Amino acid sequence: MDSFESLLESLKCDVCLDSIQQEDDVLVQCSQCLVCVHQHCYGSDLVQSDITPEHLCNWKCAECAWNETHCQLNQSTPCFMCKQFGGAMKKYSAESWAHITCINWNKYIFFQDKFKDSTNISLEMLHLYQKPDTLCYICEFSEGVMIKCDNRVCKLNFHVRCGIQKGLIKDWQTMNMFRRDDDDFDCNVFCQDHLEIFEEKRFKFPLEILNNRREARKARKAVRDSRLKKLRQQRKTKRKRHKDIVREWKEKKVKRAYYIHS
């Protein structure tokens, strides 16, 4: 029993990298390749309302199911974005498969709905957002689609899965601390050096202080905005007064001209 429980604990979702389960969001394992995912992290057939326990027990991931129907046992294809094999992948265009993580962490592409079967743009379009000859600083390959370190001055790029292996992208809960803003869904992803700098800062300033600083920043912005509004209003009334003066003056001129000529 102990080993079974430790096995359960060692199971980690390939998408959010977390092992916590909820009643309506359990970890499901592919009966073929043993990849492990949360129902809602994976989408597709795992989030259908009429899903049965039998289906969960005998579930096959999209890649294994595709291989089965196409009689290509264990013929895996690399991810279009990170060029790595294995993991939770789906087929997102005629020829290309991609990891759900590789899409989740790329700013330019996102899923259309909870089923996560279609994306806002095609995978191939992602090359448009990437400079030619971009190199992954971790695996040193130039193929595929990379993400950039979120430090503004840093020029380092890396594949999402390389970043996960290097520990730059951690489980979803930890990454929540890297959120850009309270109401922003985007998290910062850094290269090794900038991650260390960020974590050091986080260590020095616990979350409450940072949140307080965020509040302070928001308050300052509100003051600035109200001042700006007042200034705009003043300018507007000045402009209006000036217009009135000009109009009055013109009217006077016309009147004067009328007196002179009559």
Between CA 60 and CA 42 the distance in angstroms is 12
* Smallest separation, CB 2 to Zn ion (Å): 25
* Smallest separation, CB 242 to Zn ion (Å): 52
* Smallest separation, CB 45 to Zn ion (Å): 13
* Smallest separation, CB 81 to Zn ion (Å): 5
2 vs 74, beta carbon nearer Zn ion: 74
* Smallest separation, CB 49 to Zn ion (Å): 19
**Taking the alpha carbons of 186, 173, 86, 90 in that order, is the dihedral positive or negative?**
negative
Query: Could you list the residues that contact Zn ion (CB under 5 A)?
Result: 13, 15-16, 30, 32-33, 38, 41, 61, 64, 79, 81-82, 99, 102, 136, 138-139, 149, 151, 154, 156, 159, 161-162, 191, 194
172 vs 210, beta carbon nearer Zn ion: 172
Between CA 40 and CA 38 the distance in angstroms is 6
201 vs 242, beta carbon nearer Zn ion: 201
Q: Give start and end residues of each alpha helix (H) in the chain.
A: 2-10, 39-42, 53-57, 62-69, 100-104, 160-165, 172-175, 192-204, 207-261
CA-to-CA dists, residue 251 to 240, 241, 242, 255, 256, angstroms: 16, 15, 14, 6, 9
128 vs 158, beta carbon nearer Zn ion: 158
13 vs 147, beta carbon nearer Zn ion: 13
* Smallest separation, CB 220 to Zn ion (Å): 28
Rg (CA), the chain: 29
116 vs 161, beta carbon nearer Zn ion: 161
Between CA 161 and CA 56 the distance in angstroms is 26
Q: What does the H/E/C string look like for 101-157? A: HHHHCCCCCCECCCCCCCECCCHHHHHHHCCCCCCECCCCCCCCCCEECCCCCCCCE
